[in-house]
Structure 1
Amino acid sequence: MSAPFSLLLPVYRGDDAAHFLKAVGSSTAEQTVRPAQLVLVQDGPVGDGLAEAIERAVAQSPVPVTRHVFDENVGLAAALEHGLTLCTHDIVARMDADDISLPERFAKQLPVIEAGADLVGTGMFEFLDDDGSIVARRTPRTGHEEIARYARFHDPFSHPTVMYRRSAVANAGGYRPLGLMEDYWLFARMIHAGARVENLADPLVMYRVGAGAYARRGGRAQWRSELALQRALRSIGFTTRWEYLRNVAVRGAYRFVPEPVRKIAYRRLIANGGAANA
């Protein structure tokens, strides 16, 4: 029998009600191995349509639901950190409110965790928000040593795909706010703290790409977050001085190139670790 695990899914006012219901259903009822608990964290007030969708998801869930509602928006890091305290099980799977888990996702991830990994991610398909067509495949680096090496330059995990041990997250200090870089900052600290990590190359999550997805990866706000992240990584000794300078130059410049160039660079050089699958 597989080890029981919790599914942690945050939702906030910007999420689409139909997308949210699909995310929940694909990660519970449609899974060949289902979570033993669904933890929904509502990050602040939401509109009537999304509120109705949340009530429907809770009422129709095939697994027990633990729900927490924040009176005000607290941000993703705080929402996830609180959500982890509500998880009954040490093994926790993450999911976002606008993506889709493929049916075999947990059946393939769980054995890797049970074999000793503290954190395991997967590949993803990118699909268009308007017509659902697949436009790219993200293939992550695999193998602990290769992932740890690549993490010095880029986040080696796609956050909506990960499954981890809550104890390993706590050992690394948990989620901490860092301007849109909370996941990378956490995963780097987990690796630095000795967590065993792995990725499955198989695309087991459908990642929704809507209008402005690549525009949001650029601009001064992203540059400031990037600089804060690189300083944080250097402060704990995760990166060397040379790696810090390289990352600031390369990743910083990426934030200011035109959106079409950023889209190509992300798909060919970053999302696929240098392998083009678009």
Structure 2
Amino acid sequence: MQHTERRDTLPPFSLLMAVYGGNSLREVERSVQSSTIEQVLPPSQVVIVRDGPVSDDVQRYLDTLPSTMSVWFTAEHPNEPVPDVTIVEFDENHGLAHALNVGLAHCTYDIVARCDCDDVSLPNRFSTILPQFVHRSNAAHTKTESRRPIDVMGSAIREFSGDEDEPGQIRILPAEGDDLERYARMQSPVHHPSVVYRKSAVLDAGGYPEDSGRFEDYMLWERMMLRHAQFLNVPQPLVLYRTNDAAYERRGGKEMFRDELRLQWRFVRDGFTSPWQFVRNVCLRAVYRIIPTSLRQRAYRTLTSRHNTEIGATPTPPEPPHLGRHCATRAAGDTDGAHTPSGADDAR
């Protein structure tokens, strides 16, 4: 199938991102570029929420992005429509959940792809996800299929630290069904930076909870699952997920554990988890939060490797990323101002 045919037969979709003061220009440029001009199937709309003040160079980049996007596509994809660019600006930082809720209100299309401004989308991300997303939704309405339309679809992710060309650990999740339902009672059922979802389904669940600490995504998935939303994960790693030593430090501490304790209490109160699952989760997470950072990193990698083995997936090796002509030179070890990951991914 040619790219033009794929574009003609697939519905348009919006890309939703949030930028805050901790993001560096290199991160923002790389994330936007990888999610738009480098995509085999680029989005039809880009919505970026500036959550409070940002550095002067990031602000200049956001101010000129609509014209920059037009130049990119005119020069390299003249037969492709230029994505509409919507920049929403807050004078003060309100947190990721509020930024995403406001951003959703500005998304024109029902299909929305998420992207964090410190991660990198591989070129085949949307061309891999969207056809499956649409096919599964259409198949659910045929007489031969009893499955409901897919509401949230994610992928495996590959970690990187500093140099995105250096291969890192791949994180795989169960695909769907009972395996994913059981997994969701312990950990987030999808990787937030990799998801494509239906805006209508997210809004039906009340949007991102704004009183959930660092777990706005995990609590949203819980609400959607309780409303019988359908989730699906593909085993291919389609997003490069930025991580470093500071990320492992953020996964520990009393404040993080308090946020998680509040999350687990809401889960059992809502009937999402049983009292036994509540006790199990709290005990395991308490140990994970209080151990030294070096042990936490080692435990995390061991558990992730075990999960990958248990799931039994063999992910397709990701297409090697490339820097591209539109991005500032990437320095090895450039992790300054890394965006704090979403709670469920950061919690592992």
Shorter-chain TM-score: which interval? over 0.9
| Structure 2 runs not aligned, ≥5 long | 1-8, 70-81, 138-149, 315-348
Conservation of the 8 A alpha-carbon contact between 2:114 and 2:194: yes
Tell me which residue corresponds to 2:329. Answer: none
Q: C-alpha displacement at 1:54, in angstroms? A: 1.8
Tell me which residue corresponds to 2:256. Answer: 222
Offset from partner CA, 1:171-212 (integer Å, 9 cap, x none): 211101211111111111111111110001100001111341
Aligned residue pairs total 277
The residue matched to 2:15 in structure 1 has which SS? Answer: strand
Structure 1 Cα separation of the partners of residues 44 and 260 of structure 2: 36
Structure 1 Cα separation of the partners of residues 279 and 39 of structure 2: 43
2:52 is aligned with 1:52? no
The correspondence for 2:93, drawn from 64, 73, 77, is 73
Letter in 2 for 1:137: I
Q: C-alpha displacement at 1:44, in angstroms? A: 0.6
Structure 1 Cα separation of the partners of residues 180 and 129 of structure 2: 16
2:169 is aligned with 1:136? yes
Letter in 2 for 1:14: G
The residue matched to 2:158 in structure 1 has which SS? Answer: strand
Letter in 2 for 1:198: L
The correspondence for 1:181, drawn from 215, 221, 237, is 215
The residue matched to 1:110 in structure 2 has which SS? Answer: helix
Check 1:172–1:131 CA distance in 2 against 1; reply closer, same or farther (3 A cut).
closer
Offset from partner CA, 1:32-83 (integer Å, 9 cap, x none): 1111100010001111121122224332124111110011100000000010
2:76 is aligned with 1:42? no
Conservation of the 8 A alpha-carbon contact between 1:121 and 1:162: yes
Letter in 1 for 2:209: R
The alignment's TM-score, normalised by the length of structure 2, stands at 0.76
Structure 1 Cα separation of the partners of residues 299 and 130 of structure 2: 32
Structure 2 Cα separation of the partners of residues 250 and 205 of structure 1: 28
Conservation of the 8 A alpha-carbon contact between 1:154 and 1:270: no
Tell me which residue corresponds to 1:89. Answer: 109
Structure 2 Cα separation of the partners of residues 212 and 275 of structure 1: 27
The residue matched to 1:67 in structure 2 has which SS? Answer: strand
Conservation of the 8 A alpha-carbon contact between 1:123 and 1:205: yes
Check 1:272–1:57 CA distance in 2 against 1; reply closer, same or farther (3 A cut).
farther
The alignment's TM-score, normalised by the length of structure 1, stands at 0.95
Letter in 2 for 1:66: T
Conservation of the 8 A alpha-carbon contact between 1:37 and 1:64: yes
Offset from partner CA, 1:222-253 (integer Å, 9 cap, x none): 00011011011111100001001100001222
Offset from partner CA, 1:237-275 (integer Å, 9 cap, x none): 000010011000012221111112211222232587354
Tell me which residue corresponds to 1:241. Answer: 275
Structure 1 Cα separation of the partners of residues 165 and 300 of structure 2: 20
- Choose 1 or 2 for highest CA Rg: 2
Letter in 1 for 2:25: A
Structure 2 Cα separation of the partners of residues 49 and 208 of structure 1: 21
Letter in 1 for 2:60: E
Instruction: Name which of structure 1's ranges 87-96 and 210-219 shifts more when overlaid on structure 2.
Output: 210-219
Letter in 1 for 2:220: L
Q: C-alpha displacement at 1:18, in angstroms? A: 0.9
Letter in 1 for 2:170: R
